[in-house]
Copies of this chain bind each other. A is one copy, B any other.
Amino acid sequence: MGKQIGKQSIAFDKVVYILANTEVVGKKEKDGPLGDYFQNIFDDHLLDKKTWEMTEAKMQEQVSNKVIELSGLSKDKIRYIFGGDLMAQLMATTFGIKDLEIPFYGVFGACSTFGASMQLASIMIDAGLADNAMAISSSHYSSAERQFRFPVEFGYQRPKSAAWTVTGAAAVILGNESGAVKITGMTTGKIVDYGIDDAMNMGGAMAPAAADTIVRHFKDFGTRPGDYDLIVTGDLGVYGKEIACKLVNDEGYDISQNHMDCGVEIYSDKEQDTHAGGSGCGCSAVTFSAMVMNKFKIGELKKILFVPTGALLTTVSTNLKETIPAIAHALVIERNEVSK
């Protein structure tokens, strides 16, 4: 059974394994720098649905079914699903996983949702309360634009600090049977609000939350940046990445040499006009499932800190000129050297 470590962390005792993972992305993500890692793509932006929201639900349906198939487990062996998305009232997740008939907790942490969901699923495994559990998350460029911003057809000017919502969904199945990759610890984030109120600069709003969780993680576990091959944040983008590295450095930890941000990696601004980087619950989820898991499996990575980051804004709060509170959740993920 796991132990409380420091102020905000847990060290797992019964090791939690990632038994299966999969993702699906759209055409723009396939065309980006990580394209070769993505196996499952769809070209038409809508699949066979009439609305982007139901398309996003269909993406969750696809990855949830696929990940169960890949795990080799029957559906009734998955005791819980933890998951969410950016839509109001988690519409994509509700409609995506409802037919699975698996006990479900809806999780909302904006773009940190995949991290929060993996943490809660890990706790169930570690505590012996589930043998297997799924974590799932998604975002869709067009459903997010409609939810948070302007009609796409309006063609508003995007500042350089704006992010591009990733069209993608990913799911993992965690379990207590030995697998190639394991989750050994976690740090839960608290809401951090530095007073930024520009919804076109979510990286700036999230950077302090990412820094807060990363520094807290080092302190709780007594580790240093060099103990990890990579520190992988979710979707800070180029400006947020710079701010986060500086804030962490101010606390005496230099992560500049081994920090990677999924939002920075997933698109090429020069080629794809995406500006600060990718964002959305799908950004860290698909990058983790495709690139990071691949690098673990081929032995290129041995231990990382995975830190999905979320900007907790709403259209109502943005229109009220309220600030953008943010949160980040961290997981220690390691290659299992004695895997089956």
State the A residues within 8 Å of B (CB). Answer: 1-4, 7-8, 10, 50-51, 53-54, 76, 79-80, 84, 86-91, 94-95, 97-98, 100-110, 116, 120, 123-124, 126-130, 147, 188-191, 193, 312-317, 320, 322, 325, 327
Contact = CB atoms under 8 A, between A and B. Distances in A.
A39 B175 CA distance: 46
Given A98-B191, A98-B193, A84 B108 contact: yes
A312 B188 contact: no
Nearest to A53: B316
A329 to B, nearest CB: 8
Contacts of A84: 108
Top 6 A-B residue pairs of the complex, sorted by shortest distance between their CB atoms: A88-B88, A103-B188, A106-B108, A127-B127, A98-B191, A89-B314
A159 B89 CA distance: 24
A138 B126 CA distance: 31
A216 to B, nearest CB: 9
A126 B123 CA distance: 11
Copies in the complex: 2
B101 A191 contact: yes
Contacts of A51: 316, 320
A91 B88 CA distance: 10
Contacts of A313: 89
B191 A10 contact: no
A187 to B, nearest CB: 8
Chain A contact residues, majority secondary structure = mixed
Contact of A116 (B86, B105, B110): B105
Contacts of A126: 127
Contacts of A3: 128-129
7 contacts: A87-B88, A88-B89, A89-B313, A89-B314, A101-B191, A104-B188, A105-B107
A46 to B, nearest CB: 14
Nearest to A97: B191
A101 to B, nearest CB: 5
B4 A315 contact: no
Nearest to A86: B89
A320 to B, nearest CB: 6
A281 to B, nearest CB: 11
Contact of A94 (B53, B97, B123, B312): B312
B116 A123 contact: no
Contacts of A320: 50-51, 53-54
Contact of A190 (B91, B101, B314): B101
B95 A322 contact: yes
A95 B103 CA distance: 29
A104 B314 contact: no
Given A86-B89, A315-B88, A129 B80 contact: no
Contact of A314 (B76, B88, B124, B327): B88
Contact of A4 (B105, B106, B130, B193): B130
A252 to B, nearest CB: 21
A302 to B, nearest CB: 26
Contacts of A127: 1-2, 123, 126-127, 129
Nearest to A213: B103
